[in-house]
Structure formats: C-alpha cells, structure tokens
Amino acid sequence: MDLSTCGVVVYHGFTSTPASVLPLADALRTAGCTVAVPSLPGHGTAWQDLERRSAAEILRAGLAAYDALATTCTHVMTAGLSMGGAIALHVAARRRTAGVIPINPALRLKPFTGVGAALLGRAVRTIPPIAGDIALDGVVEEAYERTPLRGVVQLSAMGRQVRRELPGVRERGTPVLLMRSAQDNILPQASADTLVSALDPSQLTVLTLQNSLHVATLDHDADLIGRESVAFLARQLAADLW
C-alpha cells in the first residue's frame, strides 16, 4: 500500500517532549508517510514556561500543526499520547481528518486532580514529576523534573473542552483507533472509557496494550503501536474512506 500521500501529526504528552513519541513517528515514516512531531507550547524548555501557558494556546498549536501538514499532504491523520491524544481528538472535531490514533488520551484526570492542583497551587508552584510511567527497564522519558500546578489546572481544562467536542468526532464518522494500556498509573480508566462511550462503535477500534504502562510509545508495546498505526492508516486508504 502506497502511503506517500498521507501525513500524520503526532502529539506528545504533558511535561514531555517529541522524543516520547519518536518510535511511532519513525514507524510511520518508514511506511512512507510524511510525519510532523511538533514541540507544543511550554514544553522542551523549562517548567516555568509551561506554567505560563494556557490550554487554549496549546490546542491552537496542535491545530496549526495539522493545518501546516494539510497543505502538503492529501490525507492527514492525527495521533498522540496522553495530552497529545486529547489534542489529536480536538483537531479531529474541527477538521475532517483521515483518522485519529489516541494512545492513553488525557480526557479525564484522576478525581479531584484539577481542583486539588488549583488549591495547592496557592501555596506551592510545583509537585514532583509525573513522567516516566514505563514498565520497560532502562527507558527514561525526557520530561520536566517538576510539574507546574498551573499547568495541571490547564490540562484539566483541556480535558473538559475536548470531552465537549467529542460529539463532533462522532458526527463526522472519523475512524478512531484507541490504544489503551491495561495498567495506567497516571490516568484513570474513565479517561479512555469516556471516548468509547462518546463514539459510534462502527467508527472505533480498541486495542489493549497488555505489556505497557502510561507512556506506551516508549514501552514494551512500542513496536506494536507502530505496526497497528500503519495498518490502521492503510485500512482507511484501502476502504477509500477519504
């Protein structure tokens, strides 16, 4: 299958960098796709930078990355890990994407996380890092050494916004490949369940990652994620859904 007309924007997670999703990006490039892996606002610099960024600003950047790739590729898909998965769905609600691959999407945080971050943020600015939930020995996620609480508040707000937008993904009938880890120490099961309940079963494929934790793109199932993403893309092209 010739995937040379296809583009994929791959979005990284909260406090992390594009390095966390490079194995997926590399698999897509090897298959012939044009791939963009933007560094999102407030990331890849210092946690103080993320502290100053709003959910709206990060979502706008995600949409801009899609629009830029759409000028050079006939068919464009979005994919993302955690926060990046939420951004991928946000774009799909606003653009006619070829498909979406959310991996452990951050549609809901653990109960009271957003409210707790707002309250605790009155006294302190950061908490310990949340990155690195990986089962594979020796793998380190490139991410901030501290987590800004204002950023957590914005992440919670982002999840609320994208949840409201999910009916748009359903109405478009956009194909979705949801990959969720059987064990995720960062997000609750309700996060992925929210997506499942919001979509038509006919547009949704769910793959459970049995051997990986939250940062599945760097974990035991990284190769599986790459293979299944390429196969998903090829299926949409073969079905002439675009």
179 among annotated binding-site residues? no
Secondary structure element (H or E) that encloses residue 89, with its range = helix 83-94
Beta bridge partners of 100: 78, 176
- Decide: helix, strand or coil at residue 116: helix
DSSP 105: -
The catalytic site residues sit at 82, 184, 214
What are the backbone dihedrals phi and psi of residue 7, each rounded to the nearest 5 degrees, phi first? Answer: -125, 150
Secondary structure element (H or E) that encloses residue 127, with its range = strand 126-127
Q: Contact at 8 Å (CB) between 220 and 212?
A: yes
Question: Hey, what's the torsion of the CAs at 75, 81, 86, 88, to 10 degrees?
Answer: -10
Q: How far apart are CA 64 and CA 161, in angstroms?
A: 18
- Decide: helix, strand or coil at residue 74: coil
112 among annotated binding-site residues? no
Q: How far apart are CA 217 and CA 5, in angstroms?
A: 24
How many Cβ atoms are within 10 Å of 171's Cβ, its own excluded? 10
Q: Where is the binding site for substrate, in residues? A: 14, 83
Q: Where is the binding site, in residues? A: 14, 83
